[in-house]
Amino acid sequence: MLTLLFVSLGLLLLLGLLFKFAFADGDFTLISKKHVKREAIEGKVVWITGASRGIGEVLAKQFASLDAKLILSARNKAELERVKSELKGKYAPEDVKVLPLDLASGEESLKHVVEQAVSLFPEAGVDYMVHNAAYERPKSKATDATEEILKTTFNVNVFGTITLTKLVAPLMLNQGGGHFVVISSAAGKVPSSGQAIYSASKHALHGYFHSLRSEFCQKGIKFTVVCPGPIETSNGTGASTSEDKKSPEKHVSSERCAELTIIAASHNLKEAWITHQPVLLVMYIVQYMPSLGFWLMDKVGGKRVEVAEKKGNTYSWKLLFGEKSKTN
């Protein structure tokens, strides 16, 4: 009887976990952290790149509401000023700093920008460096990518981001610590047909920042790599965007993505996945059963590119079961 009771409880627990997983919008560790640790954010200097729109804009609004001191960067100064004017918080909008930045401008230019950033809040430094800026093109065949697209993608997503990190890290070491929050992508964790160049750039970031964490984890610098799947953004930016708003498959809102990103950072999670099914399931399978995961992605790959070319939904369950998603 006692054995039957334990088996029944175990089955109930398993069913509960499966139900929770079916409707989750993040990995188990992330969604277990329910709330932001406000004390980890309040009064801290947060520098956000790609802050003029999309996820970066929403991150700025949520960090401001948590009473962080903000530095907003992107190429478009006018849009940064617009974002600044809409922020609310203890230090917003009056004390929010706008600092135009082009990640592809080269090390000398970025060095000058970093010097400016450090001077904006004297004696405070930079507590959080949020790498959100990214370059992404519509999905297409890998062989169709031009050299210009390859160079532009890596100049922004990889070389610029790494160079900025290389310049900010010594300052964090001197001030006794800091935290890099890297907005990567699910495409940086699993094969992503139709996004070969973008996926390669995000895989590069994973290799760099996880290696950097190993070097600096004993020196007070923390790293959180965030991997969003398809995200619903109001103006087409971010780690990913909704391609088919009529699709029944859910996309995580940019507001929820930003919230979970800040939760992950405030709890010092090393990596966080933000996405609904079926992408979340695929990420787990590729992570823990790579042979099966790669087989699934090979099954989907060619069809996904075809659906993308027809402006259909490339994140549909139907791709796994041999059907093509409806096009617009």
What digits encode the pLDDT tens for the residues 198-214? 999 999 999 999 999 99
**198 is annotated as an active-site residue:** yes
Q: Quickly state the pLDDT bin for 302 (edges 50, 70, 90).
A: low
Task: Report the distance separating Cα 174 and Cα 220, nearest Å.
Answer: 10
- In the predicted model, is pLDDT for residue 51 greater than 60? yes
Distance CA 23, CA 45 (A): 34
Using 50, 70 and 90 to split pLDDT, how confident is the model at 143?
A: confident
Compute the average pLDDT of residues 90-118: 96
Tell which wins on pLDDT, 219 or 241. Answer: 219
What are 158's two structure tokens?
A: 């990889």
Helix (H) or strand (E) holding 307: helix 290-309
pLDDT digits (tens, 9 = 90+) for 164-191: 999 999 999 999 999 999 999 999 999 8
Residue 324's pLDDT band, with cuts at 50, 70 and 90, is: very low
Contact predicate 28/54, CB 8 Å = no
CA distance 109 to 163: 11
Q: Tokens for 279?
A: 């992408």
Residue type at position 318: K
The residue-averaged pLDDT of 40-49 equals 97
Rounded Cα gap, residues 76 and 183, in angstroms: 20
Q: What ranges make up the beta strands (E) of the chain?
A: 45-49, 69-73, 97-98, 128-131, 178-183, 221-228, 231-232, 252-253, 271-274
Greater pLDDT, 40 or 314: 40
**93 pLDDT higher than 50:** yes
Q: Give mean pLDDT, residues 59-87.
A: 97
- Taking residues 58-69, what's their average pLDDT? 98
Confidence of residue 227 (pLDDT cuts 50, 70, 90): very high
- Assigned token pair, 317: 């369950």
What is each CA distance from 58 to 45, 62, 270, in whole angstroms? Answer: 17, 6, 22
What is the reported pLDDT for 248? 46
Cα–Cα dist 191/172, whole Å: 34
Q: In the predicted model, what is the mean pLDDT of residues 21-47?
A: 94
Longest dimension (CA), the chain: 73
Name the pLDDT band for 307 (thresholds 50, 70, 90): low
117 near 99, Cβ under 8 Å?
yes
Kindly indicate the confidence band of residue 311, based on its pLDDT and cuts at 50, 70 and 90.
low
35-49, 197-211, 234-248, 298-312: least confidently modelled range: 234-248
Determine which one of 198, 208, 284, 288 is catalytic. Answer: 198
Please report the pLDDT score of residue 306 as a whole number.
67
The pLDDT value recorded for residue 256 is: 96
242's tokens? 């909704």
Task: Specify the amino acid at residue 196.
Answer: A
How high is the mean pLDDT of the chain?
Answer: 87
229, 238 contact by CB (below 8 A) = no
Residue 115, amino acid: E
Q: How far is CA 121 from the centre of its chain?
A: 26
pLDDT value of position 328: 37
- The Cα 247–Cα 91 span in angstroms is 40
pLDDT at 45: 97
d(CA 103, CA 296): 35
Helices 77-86, 54-65: inter-axial angle, 10-degree rounding: 40
Average pLDDT of the segment spanning 8-15: 73
| Angle ∠(153,156,159) on CA atoms, nearest 5 | 105
Q: What is the pLDDT of residue 240?
A: 41
